[in-house]
Amino acid sequence: MAIGHTQLNNTISSLTFDNTFTRELPEDNEITNYRRHVLGACYSRVKPASVASPKLIAYSKEAALLLDISETACKTDEFTQVFVGNKLLSGMDSYAACYGGHQFGTWAGQLGDGRAINLGEIVNNRSERWTLQLKGAGHTPYSRNADGLAVLRSSVREFLCSEAMFHLGIPTTRALSVIATGEMVERDMFYDGHPKEEQGAVVCRLAPSFIRFGNFEIFAFRNDIVTLKKLLDYTIKTDFPHLAENFLYLKQSSCKIYLKWFEEVCRRTADMVVEWMRVGFVHGVMNTDNMSILGLTIDYGPYGWVENYDQNWTPNTTDAKGRRYCFGNQPAIAQWNLAQLANAIYPLIEDVDSLQQALVLYSTRFQEQWQNMMASKLGLRNFEYESDKILIKDLLNILSLVETDMTLFFRKLALVDFNSDYFINREFILKYFIDVYYMPSQLTNDYLERMIDWLNHYAKRMTKDNLPNQARRMQMDSHNPKYILRNYLGQLAIDKAQEGDFSLIDKLLELLRYPYSEQPENEEFAQKRPDWARNRAGCSMLSCSS
C-alpha cells in the first residue's frame, strides 16, 4: 500500500529513529526516577510505566501516515503495547524534558514533563522529523506530587481535538492514538474534595518538536546561560534550519540569528492565535509552559469552543474568577507570553530595543492577519480599513448582545442571497437566523433594529464587491466550519467510552475530517448546544485536573 511514492509499513518495528534531542543536549546524570529539581540538564531519561491490560480505543490514520505506518500496523498488538508504554522499540530513547513556566501570570519555577514521556524522534520517508510522546504513561522527575497518569476523559478530549484542529487547518500537535490502560486512576475533577476513581488511558502525541517557551525560561531563571545557549542553538539548527543556514553560510552574528528566530516565533504565534479566534477555540490554560516555539497548539487540557459568542468566556474553572485566558484575551496573553520568552533569551542578545520591536511585530502581524481572517469569514474580496473595521466591530458587538451561536451564525449568513430581491426586516431575521439563537426571547426590538441595520450595511458592502453569491458562499464556507468539536459532543463520546462503547469517538473522528463540508447525514452534529449541556461538567467548564 502506498501514498504517492511513500511505501507504508505494516509493522512499527521498522521505524527509523534519530534522537538528536538526547544526543546533542545536556542530560540529567541522575538515572533514578524520583521527584527532584534537575539542574544543568535539558532532560532526564525515564521509562514509561507498564500496564496490565491495554486496549486500543482509537487511532488516527492521518497521523499514522506521518510515520509511514499503515492502518494494518495500527491494529496490531505490538502497536498497542508500544504506544501505551509497555514496550520500547529498538532505537527509542525515552526521556522527560526539563522546563519552567509562568502559570496564570506568576513564575512557577521548575515544571517539566510531569506526565509526558518522549519516546524519541522518527525520521520518515520524506525526511520529516516527528517526536513521539506518551501522555499519561507514568511519573517522571518533574511530576512533583502527581502520579504522571491520565484518565480516559481527558485523553479522549485531547485525541479528538488534536485531529479536529488539524482538519480545521489550525497549527497543532497531532494525536496518533488513545489507549485504555485497564487500570483505575484517582482524580478530584474540580478540586472540591470529592475524588473518585476513573479509567486510565494514554495518548500518543506527535510534533516536529515539543520545545516550549518554558524550556528557555528555566535556564534563564537559573542564570544557566551555557545551557540556555546550547538549547537555542540546537532549536535553530533542528527546527529552523533556514535560519541555521544563515548562521553557517552567511556568517551572520549569533545575536542577529537569535533575533530572527524570535521574530519568527512571534509571527507563528500570531498566526496560530488568529486561527483560534477564527473558529472560536479557547485554549483555557495559556501558561508559558503550554506555548510551542513552532506556533503549534499544544497541551489540550481544559479547552473549549465558544458556542454563544462571548469574549469573556473561559472553559477553565481555575480561570473563572480572573478570566485571564478567556476567548477575547488570547491575543494579548500570547504577546505577554512572548515577552517572557524575550526576557529568557535576553542574556544571549542584550538588545532590549530589538526584542521590543519583535513584540511590536507580533501586534502588527496579528492585526493584519485578524483583519484578513474576518474579511474572509464575511466573504469580502479584501479588507478595506475605512469601511470594514466598523462593519466588523459592529457585528461582534451585536453578536454579544444575545446568546448567538458563533459557528451557526456565519454558516447561516453565507446562505443569504444578497443578489436577489429581499427586504431585511424582523421577519427576514426570524426566517434566516432563528436557529442561531439560544434564547429567542432575548430578541428585543432594539436588538432586531440593530441587526437589521447591520445586515443592510453588509448588503451594501456586498454590492460594492460585486462578488457572485455562489463565490461568496464558497469563500465563507471554506473559512467558517460547519462542524467543530462542540463541548457536549466530546462529553457524549466520553460517556459512551466509559461504558466500553468507542463508536462515537470513531464517528466524531470521521465527521471532523471534513469540518467545512455539508454532510447531510450528520446534520445532528451541527446543531447548537442543547439546554441540558449548558451547565453540565465537561460541556461547559472543566478544570486542569486529568
Just list the catalytic residues.
Answer: 289
Separation in Å, CA 387 to CA 384, 409, 416: 6, 21, 21
Write out the H or E segment, with its range, that includes residue 203: strand 196-207
Q: Quick one: three-class SS letters along 481-509?
A: CCCCCCHHHHHHHHHHHCCCCCHHHHHHH
Radius of gyration of the chain (CA): 24
Least Cα distance to 130 among 25, 19, 24 occurs for 19
Residue 349 in grid coordinates = 542578545
Counting Cβ atoms within 10 Å, is residue 444 exposed (0-12), middle (13-18) or buried (19+)?
exposed
Non-local (6+) Cβ contacts of 466 within 8 A are none
With beta carbons less than 8 A apart as the criterion, state whether 278 and 378 touch.
no
Which residues 6+ apart lie within 8 Å of 193 measured at CB? none
- Asked whether the beta carbons of 499 and 152 are under 8 A apart, the reply is no
Give the position of cell 426590538: 445
Q: What burial class does residue 88 get, using C-beta atoms within 10 Å of its C-beta: 0-12 exposed, 13-18 middle, 19+ buried?
A: middle
Residues 6+ apart with CB under 8 A from 444: none
Which of 65, 57, 62 is closest to 84 using CA atoms? Answer: 57
Interior/surface letters 507-518, b for 16+ CB within 10 angstroms, e for the rest: ebbebbbebbee
Contact by Cβ (8 Å): 85, 137:
yes
Task: Kindly report the backbone phi and psi dihedral angles of residue 329, in degrees, each rounded to the nearest multiple of 5, phi listed first.
Answer: -85, -10
Q: Is 345 helix (H, G, I), strand (E, B) or coil?
A: helix
DSSP labels, 154-174: HHHHHHHHHHHHHHHT--B-E
Query: What gap in Å lies between CA 100 and CA 217, rounded to an integer?
Result: 6
Q: How far apart, in whole angstroms, are the C-alpha atoms of residue 169 and residue 195? A: 37
Strand partners, 44: 96
Alpha carbon distance 99, 116 (integer Å)? 12
